[in-house]
Amino acid sequence: MSWTSSPSRSATTQPPRTRLLFVAGLSVVAGLLALCCPSAAPASESSVESFSGGPLPLVAARCLRAAESRNDDETTRALYRRAQDLAARALQENPNSAQANFVFFAARGRILLAEGPLKNLIQLHNIDGYLDRALELDPTYAHALAAKGGLLLDLPFYLGGDPRLAEQILRRAVELNPTGPGTRLGLARALLRNGDPSGARQQLMHAGHYACMERRAKTLSEVRQLISEMDAAHAKADIP
């Protein structure tokens, strides 16, 4: 069984060492969540009060996306809390909502990281189950696949990390969401890690294009930074 065809093990069955380092991987995934969140909210919807009406999972996702589009401030943190609460309510109504499980994972993870990973170690260990559950419910959920790929990319191999599997998962996520700038960025990172800088650069060009189209300034900045780092490494390698 593979991540491209079926969900992985539940968080409750992961080896203890893998779960003890989940907090490290989550910090990376948190960055990816800013890139992978579905249903981008209009720029005008930046206040907590503006998110109401409509299916709860969708409203929660829009609230999360608004939080990820802002710089860190009190309003941003309030939006994460609002997204978490909306997702929790959605899960009470329907625990089998893949979107609600994913949004709860994303929002709750951001909140716990902001409060301090060490302080919330046990809770951070547990929320990856929501990501796994989202993929169990919908193995073609591109945003959740991108987040899982990012986690596998950045964990050490002896604690569950697998760059090759991460690349496979991220390729599948790109197939499902070809215009997602963050998904393309995640695949570029995996390709670079696995020794394919040419493929990584191609994905970064796509990521930058879609980030411009969607006015995703934060994503575009990360794309430019990675290209700059690649250029610097290439120039250094060419020095006799």
Rounded CA separation 34/36 (Å) = 6
Residue 25 is classified by DSSP as: H
Residue 73 confidence (pLDDT) = 75
**pLDDT cut 70: percent of the chain above it:** 72
Given a contact cutoff of 8 angstroms between Cβ atoms, the answer to whether 187 and 167 are in contact is: yes
Q: Provide mean pLDDT across the span 31-45.
A: 45
Helices H, strands E: what count in the chain?
Answer: 12, 0
Given a contact cutoff of 8 angstroms between Cβ atoms, the answer to whether 50 and 152 are in contact is: no
Q: What is the pTM of this model?
A: 0.74
Q: Cβ-count burial of 205 within 10 angstroms (0-12 exposed, 13-18 middle, 19+ buried)?
A: middle
- pLDDT of 176 over the 90 cut: yes
Check residues 120 and 36 and name the one with the higher pLDDT.
120
Two tokens, residue 157: 């191999």
User: How much of the chain is in helix, strand and coil states, percent to nearest 5?
Assistant: 75, 0, 25
- Residue located via tokens 């309003």: 75
Q: Which class is domain 11-175?
A: mainly alpha
Question: Cα-flanking dihedrals φ and ψ of residue 44, to 5°?
Answer: -70, -20
Domain ranges of the chain: 11-175, 178-240
Two tokens, residue 42: 């209009």
